[in-house]
Amino acid sequence: MSRSCKEIESALLAAVDGRASAGERDRVAVHVAGCATCARRLEDLRGVWTSLDALEAVEPSPAFDARLRERLEAGSRASLWPAWFPARARWAGLTLAMAAAAVALWFSVRPLRHRPAPASVENPADFAVVKNLPVLENYDLLSNFDALSALPGAQTAAPEEQQPVD
């Protein structure tokens, strides 16, 4: 079967049953004129379609609808739940299962909170500062000598006499 035959195959049935547009019918006619395989297939489809049209429509009996509904109800009564299991408990179980599925879905799609990993001591020199923590707590006192000027007997220099310390 050539590529053009594969492309025309779906249009053959549409051309037979009247669903094809005028352009599709023309395309089928042009292809079938040059392809004996597709021409045979088209004739076979037309023969089947004609045979189906010749069949007389079967009218269902007046009780058909009632029997069909009865069979559907009988099929719906046969369930996975045991007959002694109450209907309310079935609904409660179904509701619980759906709630569990919803919670599982929520946990699976929510973003994970990234917790920082605990620090590892790869280089002990990085943590040497921690050993001198009491000294660092008094850094403000050591870097600012204003507190010493408040001591009795401290000499205060005039602002113009203050000179920067090298």
Please check whether residue 42 is in contact with residue 32, taking contact to mean a CB–CB distance below 8 angstroms.
Answer: yes
Q: What is the residue type of 98?
A: M
**Per the domain annotation, does 21 fall within a domain?**
yes
The verdict on residue 118 lying in a domain is no
What residues contact residue 2 under an 8 Å CB cut-off, 6+ apart? 35
Predicted TM-score of the model (pTM): 0.36
Q: Mean pLDDT per segment of 10 residues, for the chain of length 166 residues?
A: 77 84 89 90 89 84 86 70 68 89 86 66 67 66 64 58 55
pLDDT by residue (tens digit) across 63-102?
888 888 888 887 666 556 566 667 777 788 889 999 999 9
Q: How many domains does the chain have?
A: 1
Residue numbers of the domain that contains 36 = 3-54
**pLDDT given for residue 14 in this prediction:** 85
pLDDT at 90: 75
Residue 90 in domain: no
- Assess if residue 50 is contained within a domain: yes
CA distances (Å), origin 92, targets 39, 82, 85, 86: 62, 15, 11, 10
Q: Is 97 contained in some domain?
A: no
102 backbone dihedrals φ, ψ, rounded to 5°:
-65, -40
Measure the CA–CA gap between 153 and 135, rounded to whole angstroms.
Answer: 27
